[in-house]
Structure 1
Amino acid sequence: MTTLDLVLNKLLYSKNTQKYAVVFAAAHARMILDLKVISMTYDRCLAV
């Protein structure tokens, strides 16, 4: 479990659950997307 996951869990179980859940789900999805783009770009560079 990463630090981000721990932070997410703490916030998700806090009082403002829904507000934080939406914000952090979006941030989390964006981070995963960025990682995919980076790895795809990296693969392309290796393929050349």
Structure 2
Amino acid sequence: MDYFVNKDSIVRKIWGQTDTILFIFAGSSAEFALNKAVDWLYFT
């Protein structure tokens, strides 16, 4: 089976680490919680 991204690709290096994924998820969750302009997303 062929890889979607090359083995030595920068995309695989960034998204292949669990810490990076959790850091991005935590940052976006905090931004979503602090930004009152997106309150309508809670109700959809």
When normalised by structure 1's length, the TM-score is 0.42
Please identify which structure carries the higher helix content. Answer: 1
Higher RCO structure (Cα 8 Å, ≥6 apart): 1
Larger gyration radius, structure 1 or structure 2: 2
When normalised by structure 2's length, the TM-score is 0.45
